[in-house]
Amino acid sequence: MLKICVLATSSSGNCVFMGTDRTRVLIDAGLSRLETFKRLAAIGEDPEKLDAIFITHEHTDHTCGLGPLGRKLRKPVYLTHRTAPLIDWCGAAPPIECFQAGTRISIGDLDIQSFTIPHDAVDPVGFTVESQGLKAGWAMDLGYLPESVKYHLRGCQVAVLESNHDLDMLKVGPYPWSVKQRVMGRKGHLSNDLVGEFILNDLDASLHTLVLGHLSEHNNHPEIVRLVAGMALNRRGAATRLVVAEPRKQSEVFLF
């Protein structure tokens, strides 16, 4: 059984739990140590039983809790060679395992595949996690969906994908124009429309559950995400279940 819970996904913090009865990992550490422990306890998971933490990139909404979490647990932290020097550990660093983007890493009964994503970080990656024929994907903070990312998401039973902003809301929203350009750029964040195009043209038939997250609190709304993605799923004729992970809220637990 593969157990997944999105502990947080927004510009305020990103963290997801994925594990089996034997092996448990976190991807990203964008919550405080106390909040991470609290949310793990809410799904019946003991933080001390985590086997590793994987980091996608250096931005603080993915790493702000990493130092305290790593020092408390003393579990290995996996991140790319280029990302590692950019982390502010705020003290002694936990055990660090550096890898090259594209590397496949085995921990217990989990096979974790990294892949490059287009974002304005130094060496950003996404991950898929496989165990006993089950596969889950995590792709956050990417300006568009290149064929390489689509390739890695194929065969997933569950995928957590960014649906960051509504273009019209972003254009009239409170951000400075330079920030709006960054968000809309090819190394920025996925819009609802781009996610809808992905669903319509590239959604894998094996995908049981699509979780959309990293919603902007200023430039998006959960109901808009549901509407755009739901319309695309209907046009595609897909039986995929759609879940919208709302900002500052922990998701349900997904079991496969």
DSSP string, 14-37: EEEEEE-SS-EEEE---S-HHHHH
- DSSP-derived letter for residue 186 is T
Q: How confident is the model at residue 92 (pLDDT cuts 50, 70, 90)?
A: confident
- Domains of the chain in sequence order: 1-131 (3.60.15.10), 142-245 (no CATH)
Q: Looking at the predicted structure, is the pLDDT value of residue 88 above 90? A: no
Mean pLDDT of the 241-249 span: 95
Given a contact cutoff of 8 angstroms between Cβ atoms, the answer to whether 45 and 54 are in contact is no
Q: What's residue 139's pLDDT? A: 98
The verdict on pTM exceeding 0.95 is: yes
Mean pLDDT of the 187-199 span: 98
Q: How confident is the model at residue 91 (pLDDT cuts 50, 70, 90)?
A: confident
Q: Which amino acid is located at 136 in the chain?
A: A
Q: What does the buried/exposed string (b/e) look like for 79-112 if buried means 16 or more CB atoms within 10 Å of the residue's CB?
A: bbebbbeebeeeeeebeeeebebeeebebeebeb
